[in-house]
Structure 1
Amino acid sequence: MENQIFNIPSKLSIYNAKLNAVGIDLGTLECCAFVIRKHGPDGVVLDEFTAQRTLPSNMNLSQLNFCYGQIAINRMDINAQFSIFDIKQLLGKTFNEIVIDPLWPFEVVDYGNQISLTCGKFDEETLIFGTSTALCSVLFKFMKQKIEEYQGTILSEAVITVPSSFSEKQKEATNEAAEIAKWKFVHLLPEPIAAAIAYSYEIQIPNRSTFLLFDCGGGTTDICIAKVYDN
């Protein structure tokens, strides 16, 4: 994220909710999504089990019943072999670029220059869940469903935050996963910039100032230097 310029939008007193603006944070450990309402950003309840706006980035993909979030975590006690998590760490990477975690209940295999995940057995056959991109799209699709239920309309455009350290391949994989989930128009925003925007809504950042941005996530920590000028 070298020498990039971003416009920090001003905080408004009233927003145009008809724009159906959507922001998604695909986190290593948790995801969240916000939409614009009349008086500003409003978080979407993504996890039905906990009624929380944050959704653990866990999936349990048994053939009998897919589930996401806290329920997927709870099911690790009885059928961990169908559990998928840490998918963000695998996006856009080749097999040689990852470090296998011995605690993963799934197996990561090299599949035509892509990472594919297999785990569990169903009727004595090993399940092949698919590539990391395909599995990420399943999570995106679930979140899209919850956001559309909250908004009461079909949505096609979203801003998705990604680590500033993401390579072009990782960004492409994120885009592809979102598009598979029927997000037709996807805009990627570096996570530190999203943090700066959120911070500026609470505290005014002085013009012509230089500051450090720390974005401490579950899988990555981004540290960036930002300069503000021309208001």
Structure 2
Amino acid sequence: MLTSNLLDVDDYDPENEEDIIPITRDEFEKMAESYKVRITKVIFQSILKAKLTKEQIEYVFQVGGGCRMPMIKQLLLSTFPNANHQCNLYPDWVVAHGATLYAYHLENLKRNQQTKKYKIPSQCETYDPTFNAVGIDFGTTECCAAVVRKDGPYSILLDTCINLNRVMPLYVSFAEGQALFGQLVINRMKYFAKNSVFDIQKIIGKDFEEIVHNSLWPFKLVKNKEKVFIEVETVNGRENKSPEEIISLILEHVKTKIETFQDLQKFSRAFHVVLAIPFSYSERQKLSLQRAAVMAGFNSINFIPASIAAAFAYCAKNNILDQSNILICECEEGSTELCIAKMDTNEFEILSYENDSHLGGEDFDRLLFNHFDAILKRKYEINVTRTNAKYDLNQICRKIRHELFFRNEAWLHLDDFIFDNEEQIKITREDSENMSAELLLKIKRIINRVVLKANVSKESIRYVFHVGGGCQMPMIKNLLLDTFQMAYHKFHEYPEEVVAHGAALYAYHLQRSKIERGF
């Protein structure tokens, strides 16, 4: 490498062909010392803003022609001696190369967003469990995971607090040294609400102004440099956590449960994952969720609309006639989504979809909450909304809603709020349905919109697939039966698990296709 160079004077004075002006590298570096100091200052300001130390920098990417200068290269090497320094042969080009790769990535996302057809996984008499196909339904408020066994999809127990239900509420607590998840967090909300986070799916990938705040949130949302963070009390004091960080903890918990289950079955840890998400998810939300999945340790994931995943599960259990119009109604705890698809030679063609991300089982719970809260205030002078007892009432209302799936009446027991008081407040299914009339009207409007957008008639819908716990509510079930009287209505034994089952089948289909193509 040259340590000196020359300036030919004849480049500027053609008559002077003999004189040259020499300069050494040392001379150049001495005159550039002030610039080197400024660059050093920028480096340390960046480290300070990132709240890191020099020793925590693991990689240094050297970009631009200036990084080829020995004094700059040496400055970086001496400042970050423990880092892996990466310098492209052509550092001037590397930005353009990266921009090209990102343009390719965006084009792929655009094409995926425009996908309107999905290949239906083939029905199998027996499946190969060594494919390790995994489906995860990452819903608005709950999560469910399934793997493909020899006889088909099998749900994994994610939450040990729920013995009969394999669906885990998306609640996280930071009250202890390690994060806690699911029903256990809900059970302790009365005492550890300030340490708890939920509704994270309604926050991730959104601007601060887009987020609809919930009066039950015990945490705060803070805006920092156009990014949203959750301010929550932890064992180390108040901390700001990104939505991606919190979701990555949930997915890591799910991943651990899957690995444990697979180990018990003596399979390898390498598995192939399909994540079911709402149709309405924006590309920004998908990217945020993808980042969270990578943080959780998933090497790669594929996305699929939750409604389509549910349809795959129904098709695996039923012989669906070709050229049929199918309505998939997914009513879960936090949202309602409807999709109309046409079965066309082993493919689903999406004709239309509609959703309301703020209309689900929780909204029916809120009506019950307001009903009982008014009675407690008026008759017993108890204001639960001022204390953490509101979380107890919220969960009791959910249980009552579930009881009214199968019974005509249910009761709120006063001893949950007043010591040694054995009184009860009765509510009937009819009472519940009367107060839910406006919510039911909203669902009717969604049905009308999705049918109109598909350019089909209600009479042309041949099948209706009922998906999600909300579809077990008699008023919603009857609404669908009355609206689509000519259709065959299909009900799953576990409607809250059907999306995860379908996602697992799709993961199996993708893995088998790879093997058949020799990948």
* Shorter-chain TM-score above 0.5: yes
Residues 117-142 of structure 1: CA deviation (Å, up to 9, x unaligned) = 0122656x4222x1111111110000
Give 2:258's match in structure 1, choosing from 136, 141, 147.
147
Higher normalized strand content (fraction of residues): 1
Match of 1:200? Answer: 315
The aligned amino acid for 1:144 is K
What is the rounded CA distance, in whole Å, between the counterparts of 2:121 and 2:277 in structure 1? 19
Q: Which 10-residue stretch deviates more, 141-150 or 97-106?
A: 97-106
Show the 5 A alignment for 1:1-12: 4-12=116-124
Q: d(CA) in 2 for partners of 1:214 and 1:126?
A: 41
- The corresponding residue for 2:331 is 216
Unaligned runs of 5+ in 1: none
Correspondence 1:127 to 2:239: yes
Q: Partner of 2:216 in structure 1?
A: 103
SS of the aligned residue for 1:192 comes to: helix
Q: Does 44-53 or 78-87 show the bigger shift?
A: 44-53
State the number of aligned residues. Answer: 229
For 1:228 and 1:86, the matched residues in 2 are separated by 34
- Runs of 4+ in structure 1 deviating by more than 4 angstroms, as ranges, are none
Residue number in structure 1 paired with 2:139: 27
- Rounded to whole Å, the distance in 2 between the matches of 1:78 and 1:171 is 34
User: Given the superposition, is the C-alpha separation of residues 166 and 121 from structure 1 closer, same or farther in structure 2, using an over 3 Å criterion?
Assistant: closer
Within the alignment, does 1:82 sit opposite 2:189 as a pair? no
Cα deviation, 1:148-168, whole Å, max 9, x if unaligned, reads 000014235310000001111
| Distance in 2 (alpha carbons) for counterparts of 1:181 and 1:155 | 14
Q: Does 1:173 align with 2:288?
A: yes
SS of the counterpart of 2:119? coil
Match of 2:125? 13
The percentage of counterpart residues that share the same residue type is 35
Structure 1 or 2, whichever has the larger Rg, is 2
Residue 134 of structure 2 contacts residue 271 of structure 2 at CA under 8 Å; is this kept in 1?
no
Q: Distance in 2 between the 1:157 and 1:96 partners?
A: 36
Q: Label 1:121 to 1:43 Cα distance change in 2 as closer, same or farther (>3 A).
A: closer
Question: Hey, what's the Cα distance between the residues in 1 that align with 2:204 and 2:271?
Answer: 22
TM score, norm. by length of structure 2: 0.43
Q: Which residue of the other structure, out of 36, 42, 45, is the alignment partner of 2:154? A: 42
Structure 2, unaligned stretches of length 5 or more?
1-112, 347-519
User: Could you tell which deviates more after superposition, 130-139 or 210-219?
Assistant: 210-219
C-alpha distance in 1, partners of 2:257/2:196?
Answer: 21
Following superposition, the deviation at residue 112 of structure 1 comes to: 2.5
Q: CA deviation at 1:10?
A: 2.2
Aligned to 1:53: 166
Please report how far the alpha carbon of residue 100 of structure 1 lies from its aligned counterpart in structure 2 after TM superposition: 1.4
Select 1:138's aligned residue among 243, 249, 263: 249
Question: Does the 8 Å CA contact 2:328/2:338 hold for their aligned counterparts?
Answer: yes
Cα distance in 1 for partners of 2:212, 2:124 equals 45
Q: For residue 116 of structure 1, what is the aligned residue in structure 2? A: 229
The answer as to whether partners of 2:132 and 2:271 remain within 8 angstroms in 1 is: no
Is the 2:127–2:150 Cα contact (8 Å) retained in structure 1? yes
Which structure's residues are more often helix, by fraction? 2
Q: Distance in 1 between matches of 2:305 and 2:261?
A: 25
Q: CA deviation at 1:113?
A: 2.4
TM-score normalized with structure 1 length: 0.93
Contact 1:35 1:44 in 2 (8 A): yes
Q: Deviations over 1:70-127 (max 9, x none)?
A: 111111111110111111111111111111112100001112322210122656x422
Whole-angstrom CA distance in 2 between matches of 1:144 and 1:3: 28
Label 1:216 to 1:117 Cα distance change in 2 as closer, same or farther (>3 A): same
